[in-house]
Amino acid sequence: MPNVLTGVEIRELSTPADLEQLTRIFDDVWHPDPGNRLIGPELLRALSHAGNYVAGAYVGGRLAGGSVGFFAAPVGETLHSHITGVTRIGLGHNVGYALKLHQRNWARDRGLRDITWTFDPLVARNAFFTIAKLGATPIAYHRDFYGDVRVELGGADDSDRLLVSWPVDLPLPEGPGSDTVDDLLSAGAAFGIEVADDDPQAVIGLDRNTTVVIPVPRDIDAIRRTGQVAASRWRLALREALAPHFVAGAPAAVRFLRSAHYVVEPALSNHGP
């Protein structure tokens, strides 16, 4: 039955024909090097057969997106969502949201505790969706996580990823916060990246008790299409500004604003003296 919130129908997929179609969906979204597909139908078949999460989202009877996840450590507690993609057919139908809700219910029904996944922290729309709309918690910053992925959307940039955790019983956020960058700065926050003449530079040496506001481009894909050097400068600046907040044993408390800014709260205020 279609999802009552979005009108999107989610189905678990297992037949070779369906899995081949899902593979083509992922190819259409990421445009990978033909010799380096992100995932193939044979692996999808194995994952599905072994009881992992392989699902497709249908709009008007047409496959518009899909998601693949597999059981991860700790054993019996976690599902790792490896890949989720939505095509142009799904635009305006909240397909990604429907897939995540289905995935969360699927994990809960199997007694799992949380879902983890990674995303490119430079992609503002994904950061807002993951952190603000779903309420997932960033727990680690990984530098060049996949190495050379050779996909059109990522260009030739390093594949840095932010790892998040999403407890399956956590209530969904009622909506993004109403505070603005000006509000935060007035309350004593500081920028973690400063931009002059389109050149982003990380601000080094900020007091660890300071709330840090870190801007990212609203559309990094557009920057990548016009100049890989500019995109790489943003990558390095964000890495220097955000990665140090995820130290062992004391992950930062991170929010994301609709204005395309990460907000990193002081570690001391979240973890005690």
Domain annotation for the chain: domains and CATH numbers:
9-167 (3.40.630.30), 181-271 (no CATH)
pLDDT of 65-118, one tens digit each? 999 999 999 999 999 999 999 999 998 999 999 999 999 999 999 999 999 999
pLDDT value of position 1: 46
**7 backbone φψ class: left, alpha, beta (φ>0; ψ -120 to 50):** left
Average pLDDT of the segment spanning 242-253? 79
pLDDT value of position 35: 76
**pLDDT band for position 7 (50/70/90)?**
confident
Q: Is 144 in a helix, a strand, or coil?
A: coil
Residue 5 has pLDDT above 60, yes or no: no
Average pLDDT of the segment spanning 116-134? 97
Rounded Cα distance, 59 and 90, in Å: 7
* Distance spanning both ends of the chain, measured CA to CA: 51
pLDDT value of position 151: 54
pLDDT of 141-199, one tens digit each? 999 999 876 554 555 689 999 999 999 999 999 877 788 999 999 999 999 999 998 89
- Length reported for the chain: 273
Residue 268 has pLDDT above 70, yes or no: no
pLDDT value of position 2: 52
Lowest mean pLDDT among 7-16, 103-112, 221-230, 243-252: 243-252
The packing angle between helices 41-49 and 16-30, to 10°, is 130
Higher pLDDT, 97 or 273: 97
Q: What is the pTM of this model?
A: 0.91
Residue 238 has pLDDT above 60, yes or no: yes
Average pLDDT of the segment spanning 43-71? 97
pLDDT value of position 269: 46
- Cα-based distances in Å from 95 to 26, 87, 236: 14, 9, 32
pLDDT value of position 272: 40
Residue 270 has pLDDT above 70, yes or no: no
pLDDT of 198-221, one tens digit each? 899 999 999 888 999 999 999 999
pLDDT value of position 38: 87
